[in-house]
Amino acid sequence: MTSERSEADTVAYSVENGIAWVKFNRPEKRNCMSPQLNRQMMRVLDELEYDDSVGVLVLTGEGTAWSAGMDLKEYFRENEAKGLGAVRQAQSEAYGWWRRLRWYQKPTIAMVNGWCFGGGYGPLHACDLAFAADDAQFGLSEINWGILPGGGATKVATNLMPMRKAMYHAMMGENIDGTTAAEWGLINEAHPADALRERVTEVANVLLEKNPVALKATKDAVRRVMEMTYDNAEDYLIRAQEAANSFDNDGRKEGIKQFIDDKTYKPGLGSYDRTQQG
Ligand code: ACO
């Protein structure tokens, strides 16, 4: 038996002023990730990725949770009962949309409105930026029910937090609130719940003003160079810059022109005006 909500209804979204607000939409199950939700999320990401009306994607949750991690019944127990093939298929559906999100064409922001557990760390890390309610709760609860933080969660914890904090977080099964999550590096900032959307909108609006080719190249570069030696990173960045230039030479030239010739802005203080681009 699976839940009664239709697959299409496990994810909700709307697009407003260039921002796609995508929601985990199983509030009655605290937005835990079932195979249906994972498949639907991939469809929604697919639909929005090259939609010209979308400049930034925000991932948030309906109700009291961001996501209570994997669905212990529908993702774990029911698939384990079917056998290894079903387990692997469910994994690839979940990991597939997280990977898609990690390398998404548009900038992405996690807006963590409530509970965020275990498997939820996959999409949390996949988003480029993360903002949470100060009373949101983050936990690697795997240890509390007898597994290790798999599905990338251990890697996420060690990527984002210093080793002692990651170890404590993974071994103790205690939750931290949004304020502590910001201090530990899991997210960028924590805000009172009623101010969260306003702050995320403000950040998204800044991103909407930037050159989108440069933004995609920048977000990829940050993730790629983390795993490179200095020399490899230097080489990668030369190639990435050249590739970005070949796709957006005019934007880059316009940025230089508005500063050097027109004197209409200063790059140290804000973005050039993309609407002036010929
Ligand atoms: N898997 C399956 N069902 C879940 C999950 C989950 N991860 N989380 C919540 N639910 C279900 C509950 O079973 C319950 O279903 P029911 O109404 O049919 O009984 C419903 O969602 C509501 O959950 P409650 O526990 O009643 O909600 P409450 O607000 O009191 O508690 C909390 C919220 C703390 C998030 C709690 O639901 C919980 O501990 N969930 C599990 C969190 C977790 O450890 N997730 C797994 C992480 S490990 C991993 O992802 C690999």
Write out pLDDT tens, residues 52-70: 999 999 999 999 999 999 9
Q: Is the Cβ–Cβ distance between 216 and 179 less than 8 Å?
A: no
Q: Best substitution site from 31, 32, 154, 174 to test ligand 1's pocket, by max atoms within 8 Å of Cβ?
A: 32
Residues with CB under 6 A from ligand 1: 29-30, 32, 64, 68-73, 115, 117-119, 141-142, 151
How far does the centroid of ligand 1 lie from the alpha carbon of residue 145, in Å? 12
How far does the centroid of ligand 1 lie from the alpha carbon of residue 61, in Å? 14
| Average confidence score pLDDT of the chain | 96
Alpha helices by DSSP H, listed for the chain, are: 35-49, 78-82, 84-102, 121-126, 142-145, 153-160, 163-172, 178-184, 193-209, 212-225, 230-260
C-alpha span between 80 and 203 (Å, rounded) = 42
For 26-52, the pLDDT digits (tens) are: 999 999 999 999 999 999 999 999 999
Q: How far is CA 30 from CA 1, 15, 164, in A?
A: 18, 23, 29
For 100-129, the pLDDT digits (tens) are: 999 999 999 999 999 999 999 999 999 999
Q: Which residue(s) pair with 158 in the sheet?
A: none
Whose CA is closest to atom 20 on ligand 1? 29
Confidence category of residue 252, pLDDT binned at 50, 70, 90: confident
Ligand 1 nearest atom to the CA of residue 117, by list position: 47
For 260-270, the pLDDT digits (tens) are: 999 999 999 99
C-alpha span between 67 and 146 (Å, rounded) = 19
Query: Of 102, 106, 107, 101, which is closest to residue 41 (Cα–Cα)?
Result: 101
**Dihedral pair phi/psi, residue 136, rounded to 5°:** -65, 155
- Tell me whether residue 101 is exposed, middle or buried, using C-beta atoms within 10 angstroms of its C-beta: 0 to 12, 13 to 18, 19 or more: buried
For 58-107, the pLDDT digits (tens) are: 999 999 999 999 999 999 999 999 999 999 999 999 999 999 999 999 99
How far does the centroid of ligand 1 lie from the alpha carbon of residue 173, in Å? 15
For 225-250, the pLDDT digits (tens) are: 999 999 999 999 999 999 988 877 68
pLDDT at 251: 86
pLDDT at 11: 98
Confidence category of residue 3, pLDDT binned at 50, 70, 90: low
Model confidence at 1: pLDDT above 60? no
How far does the centroid of ligand 1 lie from the alpha carbon of residue 30, in Å? 6
Q: Which two tokens stand for residue 210?
A: 């930037």
Helix (H, G, I), strand (E, B) or coil at 26: coil
